[in-house]
Amino acid sequence: MKYRAKIADPTGDRSVEVEVHVDGEGVLVSLDGRKARWDVVATPGGGYSILRPDGRQAEAVPRRSPEGGMKVRVGAEQVTLELLDELTARAQAVAGKGVSRGSGEVKAAIPGRVLRVLAGPGDQVSQGQPVVVLEAMKMENDVRAPRDGVVRSVEVAAGQAVGTGQVLLVLEPSV
Amino acid sequence: MKYRAKIADPTGDRSVEVEVHVDGEGVLVSLDGRKARWDVVATPGGGYSILRPDGRQAEAVPRRSPEGGMKVRVGAEQVTLELLDELTARAQAVAGKGVSRGSGEVKAAIPGRVLRVLAGPGDQVSQGQPVVVLEAMKMENDVRAPRDGVVRSVEVAAGQAVGTGQVLLVLEPSV
Amino acid sequence: MTDRLLVANRGEIAVRIIRACRDLGISPVAVFSDADRSSLHVRLADHAVGIGPAPARESYLVPQKLIEAAKRTGARLVHPGFGFLAENAAFARAVQEAGLVWVGPDPASISAMGSKTESRARMKAAGVPIVPGMTTPAKDPAEIAAFGREHGFPLLLKAAAGGGGKGMRIVRSEDEVPAAFERARSEARSFFADDAVYCELYVEHPRHVEVQVLGDRTGRVVALGERECSLQRRHQKVLEECPSPVVSPELRARMEEAAVAAARSVDYVSAGTVEFLLAKDGRFFFLEMNTRIQVEHPVTEMVYGVDLVAEMIRIALGEPMSFASRPEPRGHAVECRIYAEDPARGFAPSPGTIERLRWPQGPGVRVDSGVEEGDTIPLDYDPMVAKIVAFGRDRDEALRRMRRALNETRVEGIETSIPFFLALLDDPDVLSAAVSTQFLEAWKYASPASSDLAAEVALVAAAVAATRESLARRGSSQPRSPSAWRTARPTFGHRE
Amino acid sequence: MTDRLLVANRGEIAVRIIRACRDLGISPVAVFSDADRSSLHVRLADHAVGIGPAPARESYLVPQKLIEAAKRTGARLVHPGFGFLAENAAFARAVQEAGLVWVGPDPASISAMGSKTESRARMKAAGVPIVPGMTTPAKDPAEIAAFGREHGFPLLLKAAAGGGGKGMRIVRSEDEVPAAFERARSEARSFFADDAVYCELYVEHPRHVEVQVLGDRTGRVVALGERECSLQRRHQKVLEECPSPVVSPELRARMEEAAVAAARSVDYVSAGTVEFLLAKDGRFFFLEMNTRIQVEHPVTEMVYGVDLVAEMIRIALGEPMSFASRPEPRGHAVECRIYAEDPARGFAPSPGTIERLRWPQGPGVRVDSGVEEGDTIPLDYDPMVAKIVAFGRDRDEALRRMRRALNETRVEGIETSIPFFLALLDDPDVLSAAVSTQFLEAWKYASPASSDLAAEVALVAAAVAATRESLARRGSSQPRSPSAWRTARPTFGHRE
């Protein structure tokens, strides 16, 4: 299958077209049009041992990230990327937008216990302002507003345990 | 559920009646009529951490054995046992027999490659006589006839890879 | 009858103590909160007792529950580990009063060292150097200047009524004294309505160097070298080594002598650590004494070839320490504390289930872990999940082994501090040991850019995984077993 | 450019060599047969090359494939490990002729030591003790008696044309010589149609003690103490230790001197091992020299604090060994070879998939493993999957640590030799080191009876698992997640 991939990198995102085709002979890989046969075998724990055509070997473990996208551990490195299949990529290109933004949901990036809720429905908050404090592993962690806005609803209460990705509060949709 | 268990032991087999009942409160265990609540929790790898009512803790990993029955690793010890539920136990008691015996099948107890087949159809073999040689991990391993008998059929050929429990040859059924 | 020891702790240090018990033929008893019923320290113990809800204050911090657990299981000894109640003199006393054996120093030693003021007074009396400071407010600038001439500059001027860093001024030379004195006075007046100021020596860019001591009931106290623990984040040590790369044999001898004097001043029995600030000019000053086993004790164990936890237990049983002549150091050891946290997201806690775990092995590598593959790290406790320790014949070999060990480790399902350590071990100042306790305040972790290899491999892995997923969704007849992805004949390589 | 080293091996020793590469900053290249494509040694390497089908004679034993793999990947060095082609002088020569660096001794040294007769002749010339024996047939009983008077009894009378133990007789004293001579002659005549007999010293209940040597291109050769390897099953060492519990410092010095002389006699460079038979009376005799790294090298590494594999690589690169003064030994180390075999079924091979794996950790424990959880152990190779090594300040501590380490280990899915070792480490003769190479011939492993605790716990575990299974089969609404079996309130313990 063919995908458009976006690799997140501190020096800027990169976009690559990747196609893999599995046949009786192995995995045929095309990276931005460069075609070659790679040797890919599954390893314990949901990973792969990947042999590049030049014999370079690396262990890679791809996982769906709770925030969407994928994280691939390659040896001790971690690569964050987004993979869109052709149809989705085309649709997004037409819409001129990446993944949904501005839905207004403020989510927990880590699991934890809600220590304090710092904003209530109707409150005006500005980008970066702490709105909820989560406690995990003896540390307090601020959850900040992703943009300016007005709080529509608070979905959690102090003392409550929350999981990664759980909605903590909702801002009015952005205009 | 209620089971009759037979524990294989070098000093002789022991038979125990065991009943477990899982309810909202935990696991109610009866061992030969002695009833108590045990604390049983699952651990990674298909095992359990088991707390006996007196606070004694042990890790136990039960597995079905390829030869039938179960093997339970308890710490570094291994306990081999057979577990029959009430119905089966009653049926076997009526039949006056344990698990099927004398079926005449000679099976591979380990995976390996068949190096030599030492008996052919029609051959008379006596108990303990090597009938097949398996090779595994740089070692030759004799498979011996479980009893006196006549070979009815040979199911494998030299060079063939076999798995644990695979039938190698069949003796005429015992009378 | 086999002796039983109750481990009044959880996680990695509980496992460490259980191993010492096994090595001594003592039967370990674990305690667990509701969040820890299936934790590794419970699974490795012979007995286990539930002591209440997840929050530590309702379980691991309740002396009576621990003592009751010991009594129920027939445990005779109690080892507190570190953290929780390890330096709580009242708990130590309660353990003893319950007729149990406390594996640690006497409650009186814990109390004496637990008080900042009492411990300083005792150190002064014992001739252990403490940071020089005035004990009464300065009447005039001349008094400050005289103090500086005696103890050296820079000095730190402080408001006597102050706190929180307010009203503090650094004075770097005698010239600066008069002006600084006036400013400090006026600030003190406006912040605290009290213009009394005093000064103490300001130890700039100090190192944290601590000495391991061990005392037994025969009255013997020995020092087992020092540990360098200057690399600290948020006042938490993250990487420790033994010996300190900057301590000479002469300095070591003087620090060890001071540490033994400190321990003797409180009749110290068991393993303990005397922490010092080491100034750039080679002077060192007593910080505090930790009256318990330390997180970083394995680096000392590897270099000195002793088992400190086993020694603590022997000593608690009334035996002398197990060595007649003091063990000699050999080589160098480094420890990295592996936390369940995400360096790429500001070190946010990362609890969760460990889906895949490979610890490093082989020569010179020791791992002390509190978790296994498949375990879930609870939210409720300290995020340290393991310690990786590397030994080498010299510091260079130890550091290279540590890099190898960190690179060999695989943890999936949670994030850990490993990428942080790999970056840290690339820093020239860390490699040349040119650090102080302030080093990591300024040092910022940044996720490294992916190498070309990693990016390519990641793309292929992600695309293969996504293709498998979508084939599986479509109920395709494509093989689903992972091994079916094994290719029969790659273009590279030589399979005939 | 980073140097690359091709590891011409698989399994545990390949992983060990890869670690040495990492510690030295050298990039490791793995080779794999079809059975090993996804093995750990491949996953830990930077490059990997397929070299053919599973049978070793079509892959790991084909010199040309290995050399080609090195050339393709730009590897400059080749390390053979042990087994396979490690002591094949022709391969070493081929590697050198291909312009690559052989990590091992010169091919000539390998050849000289590879021949039983040439090595004995060289040892004789070098003054290294070999088992005394007549080099021509005995004319009469008097000649045998004279030999016995010179070298001591018992003697072994052998047919000159013999083999396979036939026609051999043990002579315990001079009195027995005449009768034994006649019997041996007549047996030799009837078995081999040749009545020539000769004799050699019969070393009864010998110990296997070997000395580690290391030589470099500066001409320096050092010995790094001895290893005791008397515990052997089917001529395979199973448990080794360093130092030998019966070798005194004086004897060690003499054995080390002999070992260095043996190595010098073949201009030995790299790590090697000189094996001796140690007689009860303290005499020792050259057995053979292994011109490669040994399986049991980690016990020496732990006691001497050196990395023998890294030294081999340094020396191959032309560097001198890394230590100026000879490292001093410290403490005691024991190794158990963990095989995939079932002691309860006559040590039958037990290949398969490792469903669950916990290696031991903590103080004094080193694991060198070739497998991880989830890996499958192929049928095609040696059944050794790992080595567990325990270090202690003395032998007693090392043995207790080993017991702890073995008890801590969990392997599910295959059987291993761990129960055998746990039984062995309970044997008083093993604990007091009263063993010889024949010890395990007579020693029979028997599965121990289950303890009452184990039996009870096993029953409950089996019944719970079976109940879960049958509930699952019936599609019951009972929770299927394992954690749902967690009980809320046990009668024992204190959960509030």
**CATH number of the domain encompassing residue C162:** 3.30.1490.20
Q: Is residue C404 part of a domain?
A: yes
Look up residue C204 and give its DSSP letter: -
Q: Note whether C431 contacts D: Cβ–Cβ < 8 A.
A: no
Which residues in chain A are contacts of D47 at CB distance < 8 A? 55-57
**Contact call for C48 and B57, based on CB within 8 A:** yes
Q: Is residue C109 part of a domain?
A: no
Q: Is residue D369 part of a domain?
A: yes
Selecting from D22, D52, D330 the residue whose C-beta is nearest the C-beta of C404 gives D22
The region of weakest confidence among A42-51, C464-473, D159-168, D435-444 is D159-168
Which residues in chain B are contacts of C51 at CB distance < 8 A? none
CA distance C42 to chain B (A): 8
Residues C23 and C92 in one domain: yes
Residues D24 and D165 in one domain: no
Q: How far is CA D104 from CA A103, B23, D209, in A?
A: 65, 65, 22
Residues C311 and C294 in one domain: yes
Residues D45 and D59 in one domain: yes
Q: Is residue C113 part of a domain?
A: no
- Looking at chain B, the number of H-run helices and the number of E-run strands are 1, 16
C–D interface: beta-carbon pairs under 8 A: 150
- pLDDT for C493 equals 28
Per-10-residue mean pLDDT, chain B, length 175: 88 89 85 95 92 96 84 93 79 55 77 90 90 86 88 92 89 71
- pLDDT for B85 equals 82
**Contact call for B55 and C37, based on CB within 8 A:** no
Q: Note whether D375 contacts A: Cβ–Cβ < 8 A.
A: yes
Residues C157 and C224 in one domain: no
Nearest CA in chain C to D409: C44
Quote the CA–CA distance of D318 and C242 in Å, as a whole number: 31
- pLDDT for D468 equals 87
Read off the CATH number of the domain in which C63 is found.
3.40.50.20
Quote the CA–CA distance of D80 and D63 in Å, as a whole number: 11
pLDDT digits (tens, 9 = 90+) for C218-276: 999 999 999 999 999 988 999 999 999 999 999 999 999 999 999 999 999 999 999 99
Quote the CA–CA distance of A1 and C70 in Å, as a whole number: 61
pLDDT at C161 over 90: no
Domains parsed from chain B with CATH numbers: 2-85 (3.30.700.30), 95-172 (2.40.50.100)
Confidence of residue C478 (pLDDT cuts 50, 70, 90): very low
CA distance D39 to chain C (A): 13
**Of all residues in chain A, what percent carry a pLDDT higher than 70?**
87
Quote the CA–CA distance of D371 and D41 in Å, as a whole number: 8
pTM for this prediction: 0.91
Domain end, chosen from C83, C103, C123, is at C103
Q: Beta-carbon neighbour count of residue A164 at 10 Å?
A: 16
CB D33 within 8 A of CB D56: yes
Q: Is residue D116 part of a domain?
A: no
**Contact call for D410 and B24, based on CB within 8 A:** no
Selecting from C29, C43, C50 the residue whose C-beta is nearest the C-beta of B43 gives C43
More confident residue, B11 or C381: C381
pLDDT digits (tens, 9 = 90+) for C395-427: 999 999 999 999 999 999 999 999 999 999 999
- pLDDT for D476 equals 53
The region of weakest confidence among A125-139, C128-142, D418-432, D451-465 is A125-139
Q: Which residue type sits at D207? A: R
- pLDDT for C2 equals 85
Residues C173 and C275 in one domain: no
- pLDDT for D116 equals 84
Q: Return the axis-axis angle of helices D11-24 and C395-408, rounded to nearest 10°.
A: 130
Residues C228 and C268 in one domain: yes
CA distance D117 to chain C (A): 37
Q: Note whether C383 contacts A: Cβ–Cβ < 8 A.
A: yes
- pLDDT for C485 equals 39
Selecting from D25, D373, D496 the residue whose C-beta is nearest the C-beta of C373 gives D373
Which residue ranges of chain D lie beneath pLDDT 70? 1, 163-165, 475-496
More confident residue, C320 or B107: C320
**Contact call for B45 and C374, based on CB within 8 A:** yes
Section C323-332 average pLDDT: 95
pLDDT digits (tens, 9 = 90+) for C87-103: 999 999 999 999 999 99
Residues D412 and D460 in one domain: no
**Contact call for C412 and A77, based on CB within 8 A:** no
Number of domain units in chain D? 4
Confidence of residue C116 (pLDDT cuts 50, 70, 90): confident
Q: Is residue C326 part of a domain?
A: yes
Quote the CA–CA distance of C45 and C92 in Å, as a whole number: 22
Chains near A with 3+ CB pairs less than 8 A apart are C, D
**B12 CB-near residues (< 8 Å, 6+ apart):** none
- pLDDT for C486 equals 40
Quote the CA–CA distance of D276 and D208 in Å, as a whole number: 6
Domain end, chosen from D83, D103, D123, is at D103
Domain end, chosen from D87, D103, D119, is at D103
HEC per residue, B63-112? EECCCCCEEEEECCEEEEEEEEEHHHHHHHHHHCCCCCCCCCEEECCCCE
Given the residues D185, D292, D366, D401, select the one marked as catalytic.
D292
Q: Beta-carbon neighbour count of residue C267 at 10 Å?
A: 14
Residues C155 and C293 in one domain: no
**C365 CB-near residues (< 8 Å, 6+ apart):** C388, C389, C390, C391, C401, C405, D366
Tokens matching residue C206 = 């100090």
Q: Return the axis-axis angle of helices C116-126 and C249-265, rounded to nearest 10°.
A: 120
Secondary structure class of B29 (helix, strand, coil):
strand
Quote the CA–CA distance of C401 and C391 in Å, as a whole number: 7
CB D401 within 8 A of CB D335: no
Which residues form the domain of C295? 207-441
pLDDT digits (tens, 9 = 90+) for D382-405: 999 999 999 999 999 999 999 999
Residues C436 and C458 in one domain: no
Q: Note whether C220 contacts B: Cβ–Cβ < 8 A.
A: no
Q: Active-site residues of C: which are they?
A: 292
CA C140 and chain centroid, separation: 43
Active site residue D292: yes
Q: What are phi and psi of A21, to 5 degrees?
A: -135, 120
Residues D452 and D430 in one domain: no
pLDDT at A173 over 90: no
Read off the CATH number of the domain in which C286 is found.
3.30.470.20
**Contact call for B63 and D412, based on CB within 8 A:** yes
- pLDDT for A174 equals 59
CA distance A127 to chain C (A): 18
pLDDT at C207 over 90: yes
Selecting from C47, C373, C375 the residue whose C-beta is nearest the C-beta of B55 gives C47
pLDDT at C445 over 60: yes
ipTM of this predicted structure: 0.89
Q: Is residue C139 part of a domain?
A: yes
- pLDDT for C117 equals 86
- Per the listing, tokens 């009833």 go with B35
CA distance D221 to chain B (A): 35
Q: Is residue C359 part of a domain?
A: yes
Q: What spatial distance separates the first Cα and last Cα of chain B, rounded to whole Å?
A: 37
Angle at alpha carbon of residue D112, lines to D109 and D118, rounded to 5°: 160
Residues D241 and D366 in one domain: yes
- pLDDT for D168 equals 84
Scanning C470-489 for CB atoms below 8 A from A yields: 470, 478, 482-483, 485-489
